[in-house]
Amino acid sequence: MHRFTIGVEEEYQIIDAESRDLVSHVSKIIEGGKATLEEHLKHEMHESVVEMETGICQNIKQAKEELYSLRKRLIKIAHEQNLRVSGGGTHPFSQWRTNKITSADRYDKIVDDMGDVARGNLIFGLHVHIGIPNREEGIKIQNVMRYFLPHIYALSTNSPFWIGRNTGFKSYRQQVFAKFPRTGIPSYFSSVSEFDEYINLMIKTGTIDNAKKIWWDLRVHPFYPTIEFRICDMPLRIDETVCLAAIMQALTAKIYKLHQQNITFRSYRRLMITENKWRAAKKGIQSELIDFGKEESVPFIDLLRELLLFIDDVVDELESRDEINYVWEIIRRGTGADRQLQVFNDTRDLRSVVDYMIAETEYGITE
């Protein structure tokens, strides 16, 4: 089997230790991490966001080990600056208007193009790259994988609050990001050449200046030999990140295996998959998703069991069964959104929600 390598990018909130509000101190984090984390930390559009990325990991256990090591160092650096870092797809009460944009040509261009749509995009995601054999196979995998995106997304939901409001969504992050162009579930492409024709047309007409400005929930990466999952909210606990990455890797491996056996998987229209994405955003793992084969709504847990059965024959070869089985802990405890909402229901205090998010981000890493 092709080695389905893993690369993980996590976007962390930078939080003031006293106010529990976001603060525009990414430079302090990156400066403090030069000695031990320099190649793993990156700026994002807002200065209250720091992105941390792993190297290319050969399997999920290596990815897990690297994520623990990197997060431990990041947390230490933040504490030394009287800051905290946290997971979560949105901050519960911070105002985007008071969060500074990072000074860089790339971000200046985006803000110039999109104005407040860009300035208001104060969100935090998890991106996972899975290595693919080639771009042609990547497009085939992307076409099939679209169906599973709402399933993965529901497990990651972790942004119920936005600028001090309970939004009524388990994931409001995607509603914020939907204001950007070229987002959401990708369309079906019959070949990599058709995909390239689309990209070239966008560049030729001045719509984009490079293919990285295609911000779909899933994309064959324009520069790396990977397929990149971009739909997930940033989780709280590392084990949640690892579980999601393991599921993504197993799905990629299974779809590739089917293609190697000349077995096809039915492709569903983007409009239909988008309906399931909306349901996942609204209610997360408590949602009912559409079973397109049965043409009826079914509990999320039923489709999760089908997903796990679908990938079962590749999990042991990937040595990821333990990491994937953590999904039952997510079901038992609830997603990050479920747990944030429970804290708010118990305390009626959004600062307490932030306290919880920080504690969960540090869970298993600090005493």
Write down the pLDDT at residue 264.
84
- Indicate if the pLDDT at residue 103 is higher than 90: no
Mean pLDDT of 250-259: 97
d(CA 226, CA 312): 22
Buried/exposed code over 333-357 (b: 16+ C-beta within 10 A; e: otherwise) = ebbbbbbbbebbeeeeebebbbbbb
Whether 367 has a pLDDT exceeding 80, the answer reads no
Helices (H), ranges, 179-269: 192-204, 238-260
CA distance 232 to 125: 6
- For 286-293, what is the mean pLDDT? 96
- Residue 100 near residue 47 (C-beta atoms within 8 A): yes
Give the domains, in start order, of the chain with CATH numbers. 6-186+213-361 (3.30.590.20)
Q: Taking residues 61-66, report their average pLDDT.
A: 98
Mean pLDDT of the region 113-119: 95
Place 38 in a pLDDT band, splitting at 50, 70 and 90.
confident
Average pLDDT of the segment spanning 215-235: 96
Q: Per-residue pLDDT averaged across 108-121, rounded?
A: 94
The pTM of the whole model exceeds 0.85: yes
* Lowest mean pLDDT across 22-36, 157-171, 239-253, 342-356: 22-36
- Residue 69 CA to residue 92 CA, distance in Å, equals 27
Predicted confidence at residue 1, as pLDDT, reads 60
| Over residues 120-137, mean pLDDT | 97
